[in-house]
Amino acid sequence: MKRILIVGVGGIGSYLVPMLAKTEQFNLWIADPDIVEEKNICCQNFDSDDIGLHKVTSLGVKHGVNGDKYEILTEMQIKNYDLVICCADNLAVRRLIYSQGFGDDCKTKWLDLRAQGRNGALISYMIDPKLSNTFLTGPDGSFSCQGEDFGRTKDKSKIHWTHVAIAGIGAQWVMRWNNGEQTHDKMVINV
């Protein structure tokens, strides 16, 4: 059974965890220091009973996965996993994961899932390393998968669901990867 670490269990990760957990094909670990807040309820896979709990605690109990309430900051934290999936909302974590390398020479295989507003992307360790700078540019710090306007309005008609689509695409990628089938090196969607 392959060991998989999912880094970040907010918008994308909170939907990815139950999809992969239901298959019973993996030894899943999740890492995220965040606590469920009221603003998360509209677009993350949590409900009002989860407010105030650590996200990893809520998902761990519901789906029987191991969780750690820490930030992923060092290479040592991602060693000994067969696959590390980045669902985190910042570039520092992505830079650490991409530093593991590419293709067959990759030290720790990785998958980067991201969404912002109507846009989403899947990027794997199989991409051409020359493209990595393209995927690692942008502002440092955290950002919402809902896009730049998230939090400025209470209008729920403005919620985007691309992050759920990316979670589903990511889950399918992981299943194909696990079965030794051909997988995409990258995929970009705009809804």
Domain ranges within the chain, ordered by starting residue: 2-190
pLDDT of residue 136: 86
- CATH homologous superfamily for 2-190? NAD(P)-binding Rossmann-like Domain (3.40.50.720)
Q: What is the pLDDT of residue 160?
A: 80
Residue 173 in tokens: 């990628």
* Sheet arrangement for strand 66-68: 66-68, 26-31, 2-7, 83-86, 110-116, 119-124, 186-190
Q: Is the pLDDT of residue 190 over 80?
A: yes
Q: How far apart are CA 110 and CA 123, in angstroms?
A: 9
- pLDDT at residue number 134: 86
Tens digit of pLDDT for each residue in 143-187?
566 555 555 555 666 778 899 999 999 999 999 999 999 999 999
Nearest alpha-carbon partner for 119 in 144, 86, 94, 156: 144
Q: How confident is the model at residue 91 (pLDDT cuts 50, 70, 90)?
A: confident
Cα atoms in the 13 Å half-sphere on the side-chain side of 39? 10
pLDDT in tens, 94-135: 999 999 999 999 999 999 999 987 889 999 999 999 998 888
Range list of β-strands (E), the chain = 2-7, 26-31, 66-68, 83-86, 110-116, 119-124, 186-190
Nearest 5°: CA angle at 35, between 157 and 151? Answer: 30
Q: In Å, how far are 5, 36, 132, 144, 162 from 119, measured between CA atoms? A: 24, 24, 18, 12, 7
Q: Is 59 helix (H, G, I), strand (E, B) or coil?
A: helix
The pLDDT of residue 46: 96
- The structure tokens listed for 125 are 């360790």
Q: Which residue has the higher pLDDT, 93 or 142?
A: 93
> CA 169, CA 166: separation in Å to the nearest integer?
5
